[in-house]
Amino acid sequence: MIEYATLLTFIPAAIALNMTPGADMMFCFGLGLRSGARSAIVASAGVSTGLMVHVLLAGLGLGAAVAAMPWLFDVIRWLGVAYLLYLAWGAIRNGAVRTDAPMKPSGHAFREGMLVNMTNPKIILFVLAFIPQFVSPANGSVLAQFLLLGAIIALGGFVVNALVGSFAGGAGRALISSPRASRILGWVSGGVFVALAARLAIMERA
């Protein structure tokens, strides 16, 4: 199973990613503004469920492919570097994500949160760019490692997105609506993605 040293590296990176603005966070923020904290919390649970579906699909596909094609990790690694740099450029250029997407009533919050996550094709690409950095076939089942690491991201994302949605009625509105704050959030997000791309580029496959 995954070594403790790997988890000690993964968890802070996962928390940093959970705290960077993205479509899921902005969805929960907007729903909190419109329907209140309860709907935002339910939607956050839906988002995390959708993420685990992505993780399961990625883990199944990668786990089967690694046994037959060990070089696949290197292919994914360089695709991941390119994609992470693309995300960094978009974050720095555009700042925080807009929050004006239409929202559903609270009764649809879980379903909508799950669909918002699952219909974003960039999520599975990001899963394949990020999680393999911390997965080693020498530590056992690749799928089990994917699911454990994905659950950590999903749990952290649930907490962060629920808090953002609950906070949306107060200072959160001012934070996102401020052009300066939006630009700062963009640079912070971009810096995280650049750091991950650099780590991925120099990583040696076990």
Domain count of the chain? 1
The C-alpha atoms of residue 143 and residue 137 are separated, in whole angstroms, by 10
Residue owning tokens 């790997």: 6
The answer to whether 104 touches 114, Cβ cutoff 8 Å, is no
Model confidence, pTM: 0.66
Q: Is the C-alpha dihedral spanning 28, 32, 34, 39 positive or negative?
A: positive
Concatenated DSSP letters for the chain? ---HHHHHHHHHHHHHHHTS--HHHHHHHHHHHHH-HHHHHHHHHHHHHHHHHHHHHHHHHHHHHHHH-TTHHHHHHHHHHHHHHHHHHHHHHH-SPP--S----GGGHHHHHHHHHHT-HHHHHHHHHHGGGG--GGGS-HHHHHHHHHHHHHHHHHHHHHHHHHHIIIIIHHHHH-HHHHHHHHHHHHHHHHHHHHHHHHPPP-
pLDDT in tens, the chain (206 residues): 788 888 888 898 888 888 887 778 877 877 776 666 788 899 899 999 999 988 998 888 765 665 567 676 677 678 777 877 886 787 677 654 444 444 445 567 898 888 888 876 567 777 877 888 888 888 888 888 889 999 999 999 999 999 988 887 555 455 555 667 667 766 766 777 788 778 777 865 54
Domain limits at 74?
Answer: 4-202
19: tokens are 């705290």
The C-alpha atoms of residue 86 and residue 166 are separated, in whole angstroms, by 30
Return the pLDDT at 122.
Answer: 66
